[in-house]
Amino acid sequence: MIFNDFCGNLIDLLFLNHNRDIISFSIVFTNIRFLQGMKKWYSEKVENDQIKKISEGDIEFPNCLRAIPSRPKQIYYRGNINIAAPCAAIVGARVPSTYGKQAAHDIAAGLARAGVCIVSGMAPGIDTIAHLAALECGGPTCGVIGAGLDKESFFPQTNLGLAEKMVDAGGCLVSEYAPGFKSVYYSFPQRNRIIAGLSLAVIVIEAKEKSGSLITAEWGRKQHKPVFAVPGSIYSTSSAGCNRLLKNGAAACTGAEDVLNFLGLAATGTKTAAKSENPDEQKILDALRQGALNADKIIRAAGLPAAAVMSLLPIMEINGAIRNLGNGEYCLN
C-alpha cells in the first residue's frame, strides 16, 4: 500500500514528461522494469525500518487528528501510535539561549514525570531537549517530522539515534510523508499542524519574531487548543515571539505546573532541594539555585578557589547533581 503512493507519483511524472501519443513500447517496458525493481527496494526499506501506514478511515487513526482543520488523509508511523498518556507539544528555537535550554528541560521533565507524553518536531534545540528530557524521566515522547521516516530520508540525520531511543522507549515517530520523501521548505510548516493536533496544549519556549514555532502556536489556536508561552527578556530577540504571544492572549508558562493545572493533572516526582555532604559541593549547589551559571560566576558566588570548583564540576555532573548546558554553563539537575 505504501509503495502504491510512491509508484503512482512516478507514473504521473512519466506521463507529464512524455507526450502520451508518442510514448514508445520500449520506454514503457523499461519503465515497468524500473518500477518493479523500485517496488522490491521500497518494500525492503519499509520492512527494515518498520514503517506502518494508517488512513483516516482506519480504526487505529488517532481521533485527535480527525477533528482538526486540514487533517492529514493518512499518516506513516513507527512505534506506538496509540499512546494512552495525555500529550503536550513543546516547540521553540533551534539555537536556544541558556535560559531556553534550562526552561525546556525543566518544563518537559516536569510534564513527563506527571505522565504527559511530550510531542515535538525532532529539530535541533528546544525540540531535541524536550524529547531527551522526557526520555530521562522514563516517559514516552512523540516526534513529528517533515520528511519520510526511512533512515535515508529522516531529517535531521543527527537525531536518528534519538529517534531509535524514542521508539524503543514506547514512543513514536509520525509523518504524513511517504518513505523516500526528502524534506522541503513547505513540509516543516505543514507538519506543525500535526504536532498541535496530537496535543492537548502547545507550549512555546523561546521564539523569535518570525519563528516557525509561532506557526505551531497558530495551529493550536485554530484547533482551539490552549497556547502557552514562556516569558523572556524584553531585550532578547530570542523571546520576541513568545512575548508577542503573551500580549495576544497566550497563557504564561513559568513551569510545568501551569500546564498540568490546565490539564487537571497533579505534579508528581517533584525534585527536593539538592544537598551534598561535601561542604564545597553544597556551596556550588547553593550558588546554582539562582539559575544557570558559568564556571567564573560559580567561583564568585560559591566563594571557592577556582581549582576546587573546576575539579568538582565534572564530578558533580557525573553524579547527576548538576547538568552541563553547553558553553561552559551549568544548572541544577
pLDDT of residue 52: 96
CB atoms within 10 A of CB 102: 20
CB 283 within 8 A of CB 303: yes
The H or E element that residue 177 is part of is: none
**Residue 34, pLDDT above cutoff 90:** no
203-257 pLDDT, tens digit each: 999 999 999 999 999 999 999 999 999 999 999 999 999 999 999 999 999 999 9
Percentage of residues of the chain with pLDDT beyond 90: 66
Helix/strand/coil for 213: helix
Residue with cell 504571544: 245
CA 205 to chain centre: 12
Residue 292: which pLDDT band, with cuts at 50, 70 and 90?
confident
72-91 pLDDT, tens digit each: 999 999 999 988 899 999 99
Quick one: average pLDDT of 112-133? 97
pLDDT of residue 22: 39
Nearest CA among 129, 119, 123, 122 for reference residue 98: 129
Q: Catalogue all structural domains in the chain, each as residue range(s) with its CATH number.
A: 2-49 (no CATH), 63-263 (3.40.50.450), 279-332 (1.10.10.10)
Length of the chain: 333
Provide the whole-model pTM. Answer: 0.76
91-109 pLDDT, tens digit each: 999 999 999 999 999 999 9
- Is 175 exposed, middle or buried (CB count within 10 Å of its CB: 0-12, 13-18, 19+)? buried
